Amino acid sequence: MDPKRQAAALFRYSLIRELAVSELTPAERGALVAALAATDHAGPDGRRVTVSPVTLRRWLRAWRAGGFEALVPAIRHQPTRTAAEILAAAEVLKREAPKRTGAQVARSLAEAGVGNVSARTLQRHFARAGLNTRADGRPPRALGRFETTEFGAMWTGDALHGPIVAGRKVYLFAFIDDWARIITGWRWGLSEDTLRLEAALRRGIESRGVPERVFVDNGSAFVCGQFHRALAVLGVRIVHSTPGHAASRGKIERFFRTVRGQFMVELEARGGSRDLGELNELFGAWVEGVYHRGKHSEIAEAPIERLKRGRRLRVPTPAELREAFLWAERRTVTKTASVSLFSNHYEVDPALVGAQVELVFDPFDLTDIEVRYQGRVMGKAVPRHIGRHTHPQARPEAAPEPRASGIDYLGLVAARVAAEESRRIGYATMAVGPDTGPGSHGQAEAASLAAIEERPNDHAGGPERNQPGLFDGAEGGRAS
């Protein structure tokens, strides 16, 4: 073995041997990794070096998988030149959509069968060609590291401003699990409001279960009382980030950068999306087929693979889920045993006059309202005047434009008439007879016209005496 490579392996082992102790808890091992990363060490060549936590964990995984030999650095081979054709195709993709990252261009080339090339090679090539710049011109941000120790310990949620679809701007609400990096719930919608936020969270809870806590910012949708009620019913703790510190939500911010660099750039390159339904369908396919299955740079594995090792969360019953996402408003019952809600008027139990009650309802149906007092159900509110059937925020998504039928009525009529004319002309040609061709029909018609023209004009001069006919016989008889 090369002495330099052996010295490097011994140096690596000297750093991770304490981490490999099986009695360490995850918290103790994490603290030790942080301490080693914060200290400089004498490297194999005597120079002082520092080693990042990611590198330390990678060396530890290598040692566990292959022992000391796995710590020996691989022999560096002379890199091969990338074919000029591949780089030329990469330039075309980058110029076509400047927001494409090197990694996305590499994936596109591989998917199209052009060739395989590393993202780092493409980034160097783009830098030489003057193409390696961010679309917004801002330098990348450095985000601090933090990670929970199990699935469902914390979901981070946020909203992303998306493209224009069918003439309207759309927004993406998404939740990411801090440990597995799985996108647990998401939804594209036409509004950045609580209803669309709850729809994204509900999707995640239905499919993945109930998390311990949710970490969100201080946007209006996240501080809404209805959203807090849903989490309280499900037993989920809500934590708001400090205003102005987006770095604390680094994982969801990083996912949104991936959405911009991989999904939205390709959506723009294909000409956008026809409607909101198609956008959600395309995004779902990309999340499940690409993002969840691709190797994540921070956890060194695909999110779907890490999820398989995670714990199972409690999935609420349909009744629990429905109760969680009902909305509620407090009203004081008037002396006439009535309450009003968004210009609607309802009658309630007269025993509740003067009491403050809770009206629980589906925001999409204000005709069915349950009255509760101090946690007890007090029956239904009887509608007396309904002027609004849905909550003011319960605006339905715009219906997709109907697809064209593909039926050209006028074109079909024109084709039918042309076919009928063609058949009629064909029958007229067949009526001339089998011994006449296309030209003979015209000759026979001309001969008939000539014969008619040779006949005397009955109206002008009357019948000639020498014209053969019935009168010849009669005149001959009289002459004799």
Distance, CA of 252 to CA of 29 (rounded, Å) = 26
Q: Which residues contact 26 (CB under 8 A, 6 or more apart)?
A: 149
**Range 210-223 average pLDDT:** 92
Judge residue 21's burial from the number of C-beta atoms within 10 Å of its C-beta, 0-12 exposed, 13-18 middle, 19 or more buried: exposed
pLDDT in tens, 139-170: 445 445 677 889 999 999 999 999 999 889 99
Structure-token match 């030999």, residue found: 69
pLDDT in tens, 366-388: 999 999 999 899 999 999 999 99
**Range 338-346 average pLDDT:** 95
pLDDT of res. 463: 44
Distance, CA of 165 to CA of 276 (rounded, Å) = 7
**Range 325-339 average pLDDT:** 95
pLDDT of res. 194: 93
pLDDT of res. 480: 38
Are residues 211 and 260 located together in one domain of the fold?
yes
DSSP, collapsed to helix, strand or coil, labels residue 255 as helix
Distance, CA of 82 to CA of 88 (rounded, Å) = 10
- Closest by Cα among 264, 279, 262 to 166: 279
Question: What are 158's two structure tokens?
Answer: 């946020």
pLDDT of res. 72: 84
Question: What are 348's two structure tokens?
Answer: 């309630």
Which of 2-16, 226-240, 279-293, 363-377 has the weakest average pLDDT?
2-16
pLDDT in tens, 428-476: 555 545 444 444 444 444 454 444 444 444 444 444 444 444 334 444 4
pLDDT of res. 25: 85
Question: What are the two backbone dihedrals, phi and then psi, of residue 174, each rounded to the nearest 5 degrees?
Answer: -145, 150
What pTM, to 2 d.p., does this model score? 0.57
Distance, CA of 124 to CA of 140 (rounded, Å) = 17
Query: Average pLDDT of the chain?
Result: 82
In a domain, 462, yes or no: no
Are residues 123 and 171 located together in one domain of the fold?
no
Are residues 202 and 276 located together in one domain of the fold?
yes
Which has more pLDDT, 250 or 278?
278
In a domain, 395, yes or no: no
Distance, CA of 230 to CA of 214 (rounded, Å) = 12
Answer whether 116's CB lies under 8 Å from 110's CB. yes
Are residues 208 and 260 located together in one domain of the fold?
yes
- Closest by Cα among 176, 95, 173 to 135: 95
Structure-token match 């697809």, residue found: 403
Q: Which amino acid is at 151?
A: F
pLDDT greater than 90 at residue 44: no
In a domain, 31, yes or no: yes
Widest pairwise Cα distance in the chain: 156
Output the domain CATH number for residue 182: 3.30.420.10
Answer whether 234's CB lies under 8 Å from 205's CB. yes
Split into its structural domains, the chain has a count of 5
Distance, CA of 409 to CA of 28 (rounded, Å) = 76
Are residues 263 and 241 located together in one domain of the fold?
yes
Are residues 201 and 304 located together in one domain of the fold?
yes
pLDDT in tens, 87-117: 888 888 888 888 888 888 888 888 888 888 8
The parent domain of residue 239 ranges over 155-308
In a domain, 451, yes or no: no
Distance, CA of 341 to CA of 359 (rounded, Å) = 9
pLDDT of res. 437: 46
What is the percent of the chain where pLDDT is above 70?
A: 80
Are residues 100 and 211 located together in one domain of the fold?
no
Are residues 117 and 210 located together in one domain of the fold?
no
pLDDT of res. 275: 92
pLDDT greater than 80 at residue 265: yes
pLDDT greater than 50 at residue 183: yes
Answer whether 179's CB lies under 8 Å from 153's CB. yes
- 48-49 vs 41-42, strand pairing mode: antiparallel
Are residues 95 and 191 located together in one domain of the fold?
no
Answer whether 384's CB lies under 8 Å from 343's CB. no
Distance, CA of 253 to CA of 298 (rounded, Å) = 14
Are residues 108 and 17 located together in one domain of the fold?
no
Range 88-97 contact pairs with CB under 8 angstroms and sequence separation of 24 or more: 89/114, 89/115, 90/117, 90/122, 90/125, 90/126, 91/125, 91/126, 91/129, 91/131, 94/126, 94/131, 95/131, 96/269, 97/265, 97/266, 97/268, 97/269
**Range 305-322 average pLDDT:** 94
Q: DSSP alpha helices (H): ranges in 168-302?
A: 194-208, 225-234, 250-258, 265-269, 276-286
pLDDT of res. 462: 46
